[in-house]
Chains A and B, each alone.
Chain A
Amino acid sequence: MQPKPLTIDEIAAIVRDKFGDVISDPVKTPTAEFFTITDLEYLQAVMYFLREDDRLKFNYLYCLSGVDNADGTLSVVYHLESLGIHGHRLEVKAHCTVEKPEIPSVSEIWRTADWHEREAYDLLGIKFIGHNDLRRILCPEDWEGHPLRKDYKVAEYYHGIRVPY
C-alpha cells in the first residue's frame, strides 16, 4: 500500500466523525501537533479506533510519557505511528487531576504501553485503570511517594541510609 500520511486535522475529523465531541481541537506548536482526549470514558475506544481504522492504522505506540503540569493536573502523552502502512505520526494527550490520578490503560491495545505505564505510575503515580500488572518498575517496591511529582520531598532515610547529601 502506498503511504498516505494524513494531517492532524484530517485525523481529528475522522475521530470526531466516529465519536463526536470527545477530543479537543488540534493544537499546533513548532515542535509538536497534538489533540487531547477530553472524555476519558472514550479513551480506550478512541485508541482502539486509531489502531484499527483502515485510514489511520496506528499500529505502533513508540512512546508514552507522564507529565506533572505543576498546576494540579497530570498528563499522559501518547506518541503513535503508522509504521510501514501510512507512515503518519500523531501525538495524543490525556489529562487527569492530582486528586484523582486515574487514566484508562492502553496496555491491551499496544503491548508497549505495559512497561511505559508502569513507569508513569512509578514516577508520577498515575493509576492506569485496566492495567493488569501495575507495579513499580524502577524504584524499589517499598519506595514511598512518586519521585517526579513536583511536590515530591526526598525522604530523610531509606532503609537506614541517609538520603540527602
Chain B
Amino acid sequence: MGLLDAKFEKGGVVISKVEDLLNWSRLSSMWPMSFGLACCAIEMMATNASNYDLERFGIFPRSSPRQSDVMIVAGTVTFKMAERVKRLYEQMTEPRYVLSMGSCANCGGPYWEHGYHVVKGVDRIIPVDVYVPGCPPRPEALIGGLMKIQELIREEEFGGKREDAKKRLAAKSAPAEEVIMMQHPYLAGSAGQAKKEKEVEEAETAA
C-alpha cells in the first residue's frame, strides 16, 4: 500500500525511485471531474460526503476539466450528453483516467434494449480504464474502482504505455472467476465449486 500504512522505524530517511515517488504523489491526489449524469451520481456524492470521505484518499472533485485527472462517468450517458462528455474528456490534461460507474455507463444498463437515447456504454465514445458494476454501485464499490486506478498508476513507468501497465496489473491480480466461484456457497455445480469439492475429497481420502 501507500506510505501511510508503512512504518517508519529507523528515523527520517526514505529511499525510493523517482518514478515511484511521482506515481505515489499522483495516485494520492487523483482529482475527479465533478459531474454526475443520473442516479449513480447520488451514490458518487455520498462517496464524496463525510461517511465515506473520499478526501482521505486525496480525491476531491474539481469543477474544471483542466484541473482534473480522473473522470467518473456516474450515470446514464445519453446521446445528447455524449458529445459534452467527449469534449470534457478532451479538455482534461494527460495523463487522464476514466472510471465508468454503474451499468448505464458500462453497457447501457436498464436502457440497453429500448433506450433509443442511451449510449450503450461510455467506452463507445471515450477509452475507459476501470468499470465499476452495479445499479447503482455502492460507495464501497466506487472506492474499490478508484483504488483500482491507484493500482494502475502505481504500475506505470516513465514513457511506458498504459496498456503495458494494465497487463502488469492484470498479471498481479487473482482471476476473478476463481475467487468468486471458490467462495460462493450457492454456486454448486460451477467450476470453482467442483474444484473445491474435489479438493475436500482428496483431503479426506488422504486423511
Contact = CB atoms under 8 A, between A and B. Distances in A.
Given A140-B79, A140-B80, A162-B124, A152 B113 contact: no
Contacts of B108: 165
Contacts, number: 29
Interface of B: 79-80, 82-83, 107-108, 112-113, 116-117, 119-120, 124-125
Q: Would you call the interface of chain B mostly helix, strand, loop, or mixed?
A: loop
Contacts of A19: none
A152 B116 contact: yes
A1 interface: no
B120 A164 contact: yes
A161 B123 CA distance: 10
Given A139-B117, A147-B117, A161 B80 contact: no
Nearest to B107: A165
Contacts of B80: 139-140
Contact of B125 (A161, A164, A165): A161
A162 B116 CA distance: 11
Given A139-B80, A140-B79, A140-B80, A161 B112 contact: no
A123 to B, nearest CB: 10
Nearest to A153: B116
Contacts of A163: 79, 116, 120
A147 B79 CA distance: 13
Contacts of A162: 120, 124
B194 to A, nearest CB: 33
Given A140-B80, A163-B79, A165-B112, 9 more contacts: A139-B80, A154-B116, A159-B79, A161-B79, A161-B125, A163-B120, A165-B107, A165-B108, A165-B113
A161 B116 contact: no
Nearest to A145: B116
Contacts of A139: 80, 117
21 contacts: A138-B117, A139-B80, A140-B80, A147-B116, A147-B117, A159-B79, A159-B82, A159-B83, A161-B79, A161-B124, A161-B125, A162-B120, A162-B124, A163-B79, A163-B116, A163-B120, A164-B120, A165-B107, A165-B108, A165-B112, A165-B120
Contact of A161 (B82, B107, B113): B82
